[in-house]
């Protein structure tokens, strides 16, 4: 919407653990942010146009480095963000899960943080811990977006939207952590600095009467 309104927008995939932007936008990921870090690619060359909106450009993650948090907390990252400010009116950064260190590192480098949560997948305690994490990082929280609100078929053949009354979760973990302690996953509640919860089984909510 911002790009359609005339703003120059860059979407940067800074999830160097489990990137998704290129999947969502159907873009190649042969090169990207990690290549800019290694100075194997210029920032201009990393920009990819998307769709028919000329003002929207995307930088995908590129190959996954062994040390994402270290890269994101580097002087090189500061320089990349400063250079992007000269290329765009708005820079949107897609980050890893909130319960790894990367989002806290990034939140100190941006003007504001938008948290995305899937209703019914994140409990109140986890949300409180997440907000406290951003407070300690002195991040400016712009708001919370509810995403993937479930849609359930009614008895009359129509569809209704509802919020699950149960909030549940076991714990945040990095994808593959239980197997080898290495990779990161996205949330069922996805943070604006984003993360995933693996839920415990819970009773299915009953939708309101029509």
Give residue 198's pLDDT band: very low, low, confident or very high (50, 70, 90).
very low
Same domain for 1 and 87, yes or no, is yes
Range of the domain at 182: 118-210
* 185 part of a folded domain: yes
Q: How far is Cα 153 from Cα 161, in angstroms, rounded to an integer?
A: 9
pTM surpassing 0.85?
A: no
What whole-number distance in Å separates Cα of residue 192 and Cα of residue 71? Answer: 19
pLDDT reported for residue 206: 52
> CA-to-CA distance for 134 and 192, rounded, in angstroms?
11
| Count of the separate structural domains present in the chain | 2
The answer to whether the beta carbons of residues 192 and 158 sit under 8 Å apart is no
Residue 131 and residue 72 share a domain: no
Interval 99-107 mean pLDDT: 74
Lowest mean pLDDT among 15-24, 77-86, 134-143, 159-168: 159-168
In a domain, 107, yes or no: no
Beta strands in 29-162 (DSSP E): 48-49, 56-59, 90-94, 113-117, 141-146, 151-153, 159-161
- Highest-confidence segment of 118-127, 153-162, 179-188: 118-127
* Centroid of chain to Cα 197: 14
207 versus 198: which is more confidently predicted? 207
pLDDT of residue 125: 86
Q: Quick check: helix, strand or coil at residue 85?
A: helix
User: Are 130 and 179 in the same domain?
Assistant: yes
| Residue 66, domain member (yes or no) | yes
Using pLDDT thresholds of 50, 70 and 90, give the confidence band for residue 208.
low
Average pLDDT, the chain: 74
pLDDT-based confidence at 99, cuts 50/70/90?
Answer: low
Residues 90 and 10 in one domain: yes
Q: Is residue 209 part of a domain?
A: yes
Cα-trace Rg, the chain:
18
The answer to the question of residue 67 being in a domain is yes
| Rounded Cα gap, residues 85 and 99, in angstroms | 27
Which residues on adjacent β-strands are paired with residue 94?
Answer: 13
Across 122-149, average pLDDT: 84
Q: Read off the tokens for 201.
A: 């089984």
């Amino acid at each position: 919407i911002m790009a359609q309104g005339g703003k120059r927008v860059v979407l940067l995939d800074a999830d160097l653990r489990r990137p998704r932007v290129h999947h969502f936008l159907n873009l190649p990921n042969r090169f990207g942010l990690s290549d800019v870090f290694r100075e194997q690619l210029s920032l201009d060359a990393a920009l990819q146009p998307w769709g028919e909106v000329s003002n929207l450009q995307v930088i995908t993650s590129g190959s996954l480095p062994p040390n994402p948090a270290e890269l994101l907390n580097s002087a090189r990252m500061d320089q990349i963000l400063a250079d992007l400010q000269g290329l765009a009116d708005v820079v949107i950064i897609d980050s890893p899960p909130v319960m790894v260190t990367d989002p806290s590192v990034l939140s100190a480098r941006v003007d504001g943080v938008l948290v995305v949560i899937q209703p019914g997948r994140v409990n109140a305690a986890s949300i409180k811990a997440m907000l406290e994490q951003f407070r300690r990082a002195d991040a400016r929280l712009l708001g919370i977006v509810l995403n993937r609100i479930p849609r359930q078929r009614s008895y009359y053949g129509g569809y209704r939207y509802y919020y699950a009354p149960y909030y549940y979760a076991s714990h945040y973990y990095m994808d593959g952590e239980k197997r080898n302690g290495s990779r990161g996953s996205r949330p069922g509640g996805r943070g604006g600095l984003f993360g995933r919860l693996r839920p415990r089984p819970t009773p299915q909510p009953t939708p309101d009467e029509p």
